[in-house]
Amino acid sequence: MKKIIITTIIICLLILLMGCYSHKQHVCPATSLIIDKSSFPKGTSQDEINSPVADEPTNSAFRQLYLIDSGASQFVFVYSSEKRTSQKYNETIMDIFMVSKTSHSWKVPDLEFTNSADESIYACGYLFDQYQCRWVSRYKRYLVELGMDITSNGYSLEDFKNAILIIDNKLSNCLKYDQ
């Protein structure tokens, strides 16, 4: 009888441990979700990836890229919960698309594409007299920001769209394992 009780306890513990293990969230490193210069037109240069980003989660990353007279930047932040990420998403879009003397005329450009984000917004406007496009998206616990100067000699709206699609693909592949 004692053996049956001990065996039953061991089996229950194994089932419990396996259940806990199978529900553990997969987390992709933010650095693996950052695009590089190969995603952009020839002549693009890039800074090294900065990780973690100051005053942000440990799993966060940032990179800047440059093409002639254009700059681009991407941030990825991984927060502790979807609720926290959604809060940060709302704060970020209020901050980025705020209208002021130095930030204005934000409008959604005529771009056709879809992404798999839970929440997403993009628009183009003027920031310090530089025309640029900004995209902010939330994928579960991942918050992504992309900013790109749009100029006649540098990055184009098509480059902006392509960067979004590449980032979306990276996040979609990551989230396949985050069930």
Is 71 in contact with 118 (CB distance < 8 Å)?
no
- The pTM of the whole model exceeds 0.85: no
Q: Which of 59, 51, 96 is nearest to 77 (CA)?
A: 59
- The domain locations on the chain are 28-175
Domain covering 28-175 in this structure, CATH number: 3.40.1000.70
- What pLDDT does residue 114 have? 87
- What pLDDT does residue 27 have? 85
Lowest mean pLDDT among 7-11, 47-51, 155-159: 7-11
